[in-house]
Structure 1
Amino acid sequence: MKIRIERLDGDATEEQIEARRFPFTLGQSNDCHHRIEAKGVWPHHLTLEDAGEKGIVAKHQPEATLLVNGATVAKSVRLQNGDVIELGAAKFRFWLAPLGQAGQRKVEIAIWATLGLIALGQVGLIAWLLRAV
């Protein structure tokens, strides 16, 4: 699964963050996947986890505050497309990222090579038939 988080506050407005590997941590610490410099943000403020069919679950440190769509979250919450997440003074919008085309480069090359060989075979066959006439 791939998600996108869009920053909505301050100088970092419209900053886009993409996450493909989980758990994904946000906070002020240097070892977070994405570092946030804002008042009220804890070192490892929020962790996003892929819960399979349940979607993406947001869990915060016990002493940290997490608001989702303006409501305080006690422990964890399943995020929905378009949810607004607030970590201290930092504000984000959560999106499920659009899926791109799967990497099919090798298959495409094999198909084009086969089509090229078929076309060359047809040209050879036509040339052979024209000589026979």
Structure 2
Amino acid sequence: MARRKLSHEGTLVLDCEGLSGFIGDHEPVVALVAEARKRGMEVVISALTLIEAVHHRTDRARLAWVLSGLRIVPIGDEEAKAASAMLISAGLHGHTYAIDAAVAEMALRQRRPVVMLTSDIDDMSKLCGDRVRLVAV
């Protein structure tokens, strides 16, 4: 992955692949998170991202260390309703895109500018439009 410049301040959102890469000590992801922190950006994940990314082979010690430096954003009734409305607007179905919609909705509520590390550039661009800068992982 080519080195990408991040904004000063704002928020870095990790989707499932971003979090998995960070937990897995994937050098490009670790470097982007380090750069974001250096620039004063807060690094966040959705509570649903945690559920999606963790599996039986996840290194529990590494997971605990990674999570200690992130803010985990909960999803409640209002956020679920907003994510559902985003799905309808984007013409997507909740069965396939529910977690993406929840992550996108959460990203739109964060301190700007918002950058998201994601493997779902196409889907996230449908949900977030140009309000979130998407970086492929």
So what's the TM-score if we normalise by structure 1? 0.24
When you count strand as a share of all residues, which structure comes out higher? Answer: 1
Which gives a bigger RCO, structure 1 or 2 (Cα 8 Å, sep 6+)? 2
When you count helix as a share of all residues, which structure comes out higher? Answer: 2
So what's the TM-score if we normalise by structure 2? 0.24
Higher CA-based Rg: 1
